[in-house]
Structure 1
């Protein structure tokens, strides 16, 4: 029952839900928190309904700004929403024998805006009668070495107020595995995303660990909490099925026209075209799932290299690969939509 949070900087792209479902499957995510979703209303609900977690609670974006979502699998997580505003969602987790509290945080990027957040969280901390974990984007650092590059002082950034809040509430940073920073813009790197916990939460979950995942299409990296320390195999011969996702490939229309315009009769022309499409699918269109995983591996490698410093060539390549991945995510969404309709 792992927990993942991510400042995604927009959840409205067509392939976004497919990307989230990949993360949910790969990391066994039972609860997902998304920040800066930038969408609300019916558009937000359409995206939510395509993500493979059955329950959700939304703090809607204000126009194109903000947005804080909590999604969970009700078979794994049992919780109550206790309080929320634009900067946090405060939960009581009822899993297991001992309840505990979790606060999902999206701190304002403006230091003045975070003052009310620290006050609210301090008030909540005084009322809590059990283990407490806070996780998300705090938009501030605890230590000077958690920032590299840039020259803005800690006082102007609001780091001092953040440290005072952490000390006042006697919270512990649970640490991390992976890259040292979770946010990057140009030559500036910072660790803005983290998990803080009370001492008794650490006692309750002694094996819990946090990992900084490689950055996706955002300047923030997702962070994953594991609370304790498979592949799909298709057998049998599949019947031929026209895949709607083929229509998204640039060369498909010309290829289909060429294969269809033969001297065969109607029946043989259909058989010939089916065979040609199967070969074209293998050789040209390819398996979209394998292609997606290859692209994600390349993007992960580039992200690791960019953590060492700016590289204009890798940044251009990263942008090109994200364009390719966006196209594949659209193809995948069409594939699953067609598959769901075939089952109806």
Structure 2
């Protein structure tokens, strides 16, 4: 019975409920009735129904069990504190786990101006990484123009409002398409309300997302930055100097000139530019010809200029064509790399994801958490 319950994972924490001390009791009487008691982390836990259904299914599958009697309780404050301390491990009670020395690849997706599809690229890159079996998280750092929840199907138009779970001073992020994500939009009573905050408040919010949100052990963390070189971009440079920057631009030369500035800021803060993604490239016509609605060559121009500034080659990771499927996938909350992986836009984004993963970083000087014995 215990082994069977060990196959049930908390949907938010993504670890077995037996490992999280959520199973209070488990026994089978002589009549073949399984008596199972579980403890939810908080009253009104949003994952309660899913956990209960999974526990019943797991217990029913044990040989000799004919019925399941499930008792559901809630952890005491002391039990919740013990759980948060166990989850944080040796990182202390409040420490940002993604700074220098982390084993997580951190990609900051930025652009010089709005409207180039930066958030769409971020959501699809995350889905591409998750489809390859990686553990992925997104921080929607575009506080004023947040859109990641909607692009991943957990925004205001979702069937049910999705909110993070607060576990004392720890925040458990929702999961969509295998991606853990956090956004200021999840904390607003009216997600259409304007967020009118100045620099100190913005910095504190981003720091809290990186510190108090429990992402667990991630392979990849993506940050969807606001356009430009303002307060949040500077804060990310200070908090995550180890982040690799992906610059998104359109083919239009005017947009390319602005995109160059965001890459320049990354170099000034010591971050490495991983590459450039050109979005909204040529639109393929029914006769096979290509219509360059927004011009051409912007991605290559940005990469060339940033190569000079960074004093190292900066590649064009992909040129993503204008795509109806890409737009409709974002509106529906299903990234195109999931909804239509064979589309031209999907193939371009998947190739960019592969290029980013192939450009691995050295582990020289990184603490691996090991000690001799």
Indicate whether the TM-score tops 0.5: no
TM-score, normalised relative to structure 1: 0.32
TM-score, normalised relative to structure 2: 0.30
